[in-house]
């Protein structure tokens, strides 16, 4: 299997889908001539031309709305936010229009659109540019929220998202763009709504997604050396959540830690933990623990920023907690 960077896997997914379906187009700031702020759309403008790869002014609300309108009448836009932090400027379009359109129209209009772009605390970007908004988007019925952690899933999930008939919030991570991995050639789709058991284990279930998968796997590996067998699950889709895979694992291990680069309160982990408690409370031998970003705005200072992230140490500590290994 070819080895591709996450960035290139996304690029390949878009190229293949644009090749396959003329209704698919890419629009956003600096996506065409500049080849993308993060070079995800490298070469696409050259290949598909200005009809299908379109630079916009800095008008997020405007082009998000344009994408939604065009999707209502049959196109399949990919709308790139340079980062999801800027999607806040367009949030009315996404939440009021994209998410609600099918419902409000009694099923007459659907919105097959993908909003995609980078996100996260990528290093000294400070409070306005480091947002992770998956919890907000996952809150809204009508949206599908996808967050790939690997190059293979970046491609497979983006292709599935483009083919989805519903609006998909496809959140990438700036620090993952360079991560390389095996990516299947050609038309391989990763199903939406399906989590991936990345590492099997029997003592504790670790739920994570996006960049946190890296540290979570490192924590699992470290604990394996101490005789702890951790099962690592990459959620991949946050809405709809693959509860079956999660519960099967938790019922097996009886313990669960959720790792996310997200604020703790009303975050993804909080929501997922609640769904687990509702279903298999009696299977738990310890309260579910969550490792999150610390509950403060994101600082510019490098050390402070680093101190907020779910590090391997913080993850290991929480795992030891649920295993009662801290005494």
Partner 1 sequence: MSQVQTAPRTIVDRQTAVKWLRQMHLIRRFEERAAFLYQSQKIGGFCHLYNGQEACAVGSIGMLREDDYLITAYRDHGHALARGMDPKPAMAELLGKSTGCSTGKGGSMHFFEAEKNFLGGHAIVGSHIPLATGVAFAAKYKKTDSVCLCYFGDGAINQGSFHEALNMAGMWKLPAIYYVENNLIAMGTQLERSSAVLDLTVRGGDPFKMPAYRVDANDVEQVAEITQLAIARARAGEGPTFIEAITYRFRGHSMSDPQKYRTKEDLEKAKQRDPILLWENRLLQRGWIDESSLEQMRDEIKEEVEAAIEFAENSPEPGPEDLYTNITVAPYIPQESD
Partner 2 sequence: MPIEVKLAKVSPTMESGQIVKWLVKVGDKVKEGDTIAEVQTDKAVMPMETFDEGTVARIDVAEGVDIPLGARILVLAKKGEDPKQVAESVGGAGAAPSAASAPAASAAPAAAVSAAPVAVASHASGRVKSSPLARKIAESAGVDIASIPGSGPAGRIVRADVEAFVANGTKAAPAAAVAKTPAPVAKAKVFIPLGEDQNIPLDRMRQAIARGMVAAKTQAPEIHVTVDIRMDEVVRVRERLNKALAAEGVKLSVGDFVTKAVAMSLRRHPAVNATFNGDNANLAQAYVTRHAAVNVGIAVALDGGLIVPVLRNADMYGLRDIRVESEKLYEAARSGRLTADQMSGGTFTISNLGMYGVKQFDAVLALPQVAILAVASAEKRPIVVGDQITVGTMMSVTLTADHRAVDGASAAEFLRSLKGFLEEPTAMLL
Ligand X SMILES: Cc1ncc(C[n+]2csc(CCOP(=O)(O)OP(=O)(O)O)c2C)c(N)n1
Rounded CA gap, 19 and 16, in Å? 5
User: Any idea what the Cα angle at residue 313 is, between residues 311 and 315, rounded to 5°?
Assistant: 70
Rounded CA gap, 120 and 123, in Å? 9
Is residue 179 flagged as an active site residue? no
Is residue 60 flagged as an active site residue? yes
Instruction: Give the footprint of ligand X on residues 12-41 (CB under 6 A).
Output: 29
- What are the CA-CA distances from residue 168 to residues 105, 114, 141, 160 (Å)? 19, 5, 12, 10
Question: From the CB of 65, what's the least distance to ligand X, in Å?
Answer: 15
- Does 306 bind partner 1 (CB under 8 A)? Our answer is no
| Of residues 29 and 179, the one with the C-beta less far from ligand X | 29
Q: Compose the 241-280 pattern: x for residues touching partner 1 by CB under 8 A, - for all others.
A: ----------------------xxx---xx----------
CB 166 within 8 A of CB 114: no
- What are the CA-CA distances from residue 143 to residues 3, 110, 112, 170 (Å)? 31, 11, 11, 10
Q: Which of 127-135, 185-193, 226-234, 242-250 is the region at the interface with partner 1 (rule: CB under 8 A)? A: 127-135
Residue by residue, DSSP assigns 45-78 as: HHHH-TTTEEE--S-HHHHHHHHHHHHHTT-EEE
- Return the one option of partner 2, partner 1, ligand X, none that residue 297 interacts with (CB less than 5 to 8 A, by type): partner 1
Question: From the CB of 221, what's the least distance to partner 2, in Å?
Answer: 24
Rounded CA gap, 70 and 249, in Å? 42
Instruction: Give the footprint of partner 1 on residues 72-111 (CB under 8 A).
Output: 85-86, 88-89
- Does 123 bind partner 1 (CB under 8 A)? Our answer is yes
Question: From the CB of 14, what's the least distance to ligand X, in Å?
Answer: 20
* Residues 6 or more apart in contact with residue 175 via CB below 8 angstroms: 120, 122, 123, 211
| Of residues 104 and 304, the one with the C-beta less far from partner 1 | 304
- Does 327 bind partner 2 (CB under 8 A)? Our answer is yes
- Does 124 bind partner 1 (CB under 8 A)? Our answer is yes
Strands 144-146 and 114-118: unpaired
- What are the CA-CA distances from residue 14 to residues 35, 209, 279, 287, 309 (Å)? 13, 22, 38, 42, 31
Of these residues, 16, 17, 29, 60, which one is catalytic? 60
Handedness of CA 214, 215, 217, 218 (dihedral sign): positive
Q: Which of 90-98, 162-170, 235-243, 283-291 is the region at the interface with partner 2 (rule: CB under 8 A)? A: 283-291
Consecutive H or E run containing 283:
none
- Return the one option of partner 2, partner 1, ligand X, none that residue 281 interacts with (CB less than 5 to 8 A, by type): partner 2
CB 269 within 8 A of CB 260: yes
- Does 51 bind partner 1 (CB under 8 A)? Our answer is no
Size of interface with partner 2, in residues (CB under 8 A): 9
Of these residues, 16, 29, 80, 129, which one is catalytic? 129
Interface ranges with partner 2 (CB under 8 A): 254, 281-286, 324, 327
* Binding-site ranges for partner 1 (CB under 8 A): 29-30, 33-34, 37, 55-62, 85-86, 88-89, 123-129, 263-265, 269-270, 289-292, 294-297, 299-304, 307-308, 314, 318
**Annotated catalytic sites, by residue?**
60, 129
């Amino acid at each position: 299997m070819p080895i591709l960077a996450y960035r290139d896997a996304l690029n390949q997914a878009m190229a293949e889908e644009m090749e396959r379906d003329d209704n698919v187009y890419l629009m956003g700031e600096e996506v065409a001539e500049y080849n993308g702020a993060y070079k995800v759309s490298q070469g696409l403008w050259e290949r598909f031309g200005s009809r299908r790869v379109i630079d916009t002014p800095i008008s997020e609300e405007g082009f998000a709305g344009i994408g939604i309108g065009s999707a209502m009448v049959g196109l399949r836009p990919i709308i790139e936010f340079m980062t999801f932090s800027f999607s806040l400027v367009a949030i009315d379009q996404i939440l009021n229009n994209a998410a609600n359109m099918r419902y409000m129209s009694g099923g007459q209009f659907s919105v097959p659109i993908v909003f995609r772009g980078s996100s996260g605390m990528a290093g000294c970007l400070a409070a306005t540019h480091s947002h992770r908004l998956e919890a907000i988007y996952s809150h809204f019925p009508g949206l599908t929220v996808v967050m790939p952690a690997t190059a293979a899933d970046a491609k497979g999930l983006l292709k599935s998202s483009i083919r989805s008939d519903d609006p998909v919030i496809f959140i990438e991570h700036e620090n993952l763009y360079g991560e390389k991995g095996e990516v299947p050639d050609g038309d391989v789709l990763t199903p939406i709504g399906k989590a991936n058991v990345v590492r099997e284990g029997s003592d504790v279930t670790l739920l994570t997604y996006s960049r946190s998968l890296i540290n979570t796997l490192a924590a699992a590996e470290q604990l394996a050396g101490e005789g702890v067998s951790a099962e690592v699950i990459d959620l991949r889709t946050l809405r709809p959540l693959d509860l079956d895979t999660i519960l099967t694992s938790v019922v097996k291990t009886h313990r669960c830690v959720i790792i996310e680069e997200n604020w703790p309160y009303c975050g993804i982990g909080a929501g997922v933990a609640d769904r687990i408690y509702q279903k298999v409370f009696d299977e738990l031998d310890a309260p579910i623990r969550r490792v999150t970003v610390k509950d403060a705005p994101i600082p510019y200072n490098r050390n402070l920023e680093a101190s907020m992230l779910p590090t391997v140490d913080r993850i290991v500590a929480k795992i030891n907690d649920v295993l009662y290994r801290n005494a």
